[in-house]
Structure 1
Amino acid sequence: MSDKKAVVLLSGGLDSATVLAMVKAEGYAVYSMSFDYGQRHRAELMAAERVARQQGVVEHKVIGLNLDGIGGSALTDTRIAVPELAGEGIPVTYVPARNTVFLALALGWAEVIEASELFIGVNAIDYSGYPDCRPEFIDAFEKLANLATKAGVEGRPLHVRAPLQYMTKAEIVSKGTGLGVDYGLTVSCYQADADGRACGRCDSCRLRREGFFAAGLSDPTRYV
């Protein structure tokens, strides 16, 4: 097993599956982490397990959270409808503080297993306008990570990497396909059913479908 260790946030969607394949290709021993946070699209958790198994991670960990207890998002409060048309401003599918919480827990695991790299599949081009997907957020969290941890204080810096940050969805799909990612295992839909079938109408479905089309590749997504 490689001496280089990395923790990869794995949602079970297209982007995080691509990141996982990229990190493996760089020669890291990969530890993947998913979150059961009260999301309405819990089928993504089964997708994450499939991807982790297919790509041969060292360990896959699922952490339980109660972000639905906070609410404030269409992904954690079923009383809020998932929009099917793009609107202005930050959409209601934004989950308050989600990436901050996820990265904080991944940071803790990285310290425990002595990994120096955290990877997250956020994107600043083909995305829905979430504030915690911006490069400024990633840079700020890396600074926090090195101020707040024993590893950082003792001179073992931690790095937060977002390799998809400036890639289009088509570029991401092409990259992952070249690395052997089986996108048929993944679930991106915000309101996928229990079997992981996509609605085909939400913003996430739209971006995914357009990505495959622009890349000239067949879309393996299963729709309701």
Structure 2
Amino acid sequence: MAAAARLLPLLLLPLGWVRPGACTDPPGGGWLAGTVPEEPRCTVERADASLTYSLFLQRFAFSRPVILGGVTDNSAFRALCTREKLLAAFGPFPVRLSTANTYSYRKVDVPFQEYVEHLLKPQDPARLGSGSGSGVPFHWHGPGFSEVIFGRKRWFLYPPNQTPHFHPNETTLAWLQHTYPTLPPAQRPLECTLRPGEVLYFPDRWWHATLNLDTSVFISTFLG
């Protein structure tokens, strides 16, 4: 089962305006670092705060993804998204777990504390999980932004006219280990690893899959 990490934004959005106090939290917010190797190659274009709105519309909004760096200050979220503080604030609250898979619809509600303390563990390639090595298999929807708060998150992206080769019930980790090495260079996706403070934008109907290299906290915003 993969935790619906997309539910965390629903829990955290009301906290976005809270002023953080002095940060004495452990590195990484107390979340576990992973053992999944990071691919240093990045084929997604990067931009910084000098990117204007008009240039964003012209170059990226409708045509290709971009990683934005230095455009946001997520220190308030970082101060509130440590393991200790999230457990203290939301431990008894239910979160909905699912396979995060287009063809699977089973949902399970568990307390957030149970999820963090008992279900966050490294991914088994044969089963959808919720810790390091977990992720969401290939799917598409409308355009959106995804910002990493803690941990590292690897992305794989294909344009709408290039359907990736994958099995709908296969984990991203299994796809990376078994299918990815067989792909000719021309058939490989755009890819990159996002680190805390970086934001990925992807246009409408772009195929994408994710792989959490660490236990990660991130916020996704989907545009209508």
TM-score normalised to structure 1 length: 0.26
Higher share of residues assigned helix: 1
TM-score normalised to structure 2 length: 0.26
Higher share of residues assigned strand: 2
Ranked by relative contact order (alpha carbons within 8 Å, sequence separation 6 or more), the top structure is 2
